[in-house]
Amino acid sequence: MGATSGMAAANLLGLRLRGRSDDVASALDGWEETLRPYITKYQKMGRDGLDFFTPASPAAVRAQSRRMARMRAPIVSAMFSRFGGLLPQMRQREVHLV
């Protein structure tokens, strides 16, 4: 979500600055106020998922490899394709900041 959030934030900043070119400080305050709840949530998701993305030991790497192999199993893959959008983490991808 980092790259996508960065692009959305840049777009939002451009819109805010265009709408308030005479008051840059106010435009920046509004931009921060709009983004902060989302960015805080995304940062927390990153911290919470740290062990998933960066296993800390060889045993954790092997366990992660097994989990990922199970995720690629046809039945699991089909279930995520069909019902994955019901997960709160997946719905986060549909938030429109602008």
pLDDT in tens, 29-73: 999 999 999 889 888 988 888 888 888 899 999 998 998 888 888
Handedness of CA 5, 11, 14, 16 (dihedral sign): negative
Alpha-carbon gap, residue 4 to 60, rounded angstroms? 29
Pair of tokens at residue 16: 């805010």
On whether the pTM is more than 0.85, the answer is no
pLDDT for residue 97 is more than 70: no
